Amino acid sequence: MDHVTRILDQWHRERPDLDVAPMGLLGRLGRLHAHLSREIEAELAAHGLNRASFDVLATLRRAGHPHRLSPGDLLAATMVTSGTMTNRIDQLEKQGLVERIAHPEDRRSVLIGLTDKGFATIDRAVTAHVANQHRLTAALTAAEFEALDALLSRYLSAFEEKG
């Protein structure tokens, strides 16, 4: 029995008039998020990264050769404020993982690119991250995984299509 079931049992006993089923679903999603986040952060930390730095490096890596994007494109892909993105880029640049490169078509702007060190770091980290994700979802059968993924996609779309 999970922790949320115990809470729901208490509410059923104390307030049988309330339908607390959504509390169960949302509570489980929240608790799963907390457990998964801790596991993911630990794996990223083993590579000297956190979610924020991983997000920027992974966005540059999956952009394809030459692994460069404008700060605006990074903002759009990561959905953070420009100040937050500037801070992330500054920190990654200090670590030698990214570099600012003069934009070849617009000398007033720059591109953010992976350095060789950044490329190697994100390739190692994403390989470990994917293996970790497989480990974290291994409690589900293939059919359960597929069904849960489809349901969560449908649920998430209901929120994102409004936006």
Question: What tens digit of pLDDT does each residue of 39-61 get?
Answer: 999 999 999 999 999 999 999 99
- pLDDT value at 106 more than 90: no
Please tell me the distance from the alpha carbon of residue 107 to that of residue 83, in angstroms, as a whole number.
22
Confidence of residue 163 (pLDDT cuts 50, 70, 90): low
Cis, bond preceding 104 (omega within 30 deg of 0) = no
What is the strand order of the sheet 106-114 is part of?
A: 68-69, 106-114, 98-103
Please tell me the distance from the alpha carbon of residue 155 to that of residue 113, in angstroms, as a whole number.
35
Provide the mean pLDDT of the chain: 95
Give the helix ranges, DSSP H, for the chain. 3-14, 21-45, 51-62, 71-78, 82-94, 116-136, 142-160
Please tell me the distance from the alpha carbon of residue 61 to that of residue 38, in angstroms, as a whole number.
24
Question: What tens digit of pLDDT does each residue of 18-39 get?
Answer: 999 999 999 999 999 999 999 9
Confidence of residue 105 (pLDDT cuts 50, 70, 90): confident
pLDDT (0 to 100) of residue 19: 97
Within a 10 A sphere around the Cβ of 138, how many other Cβ atoms?
Answer: 9
pLDDT (0 to 100) of residue 103: 82
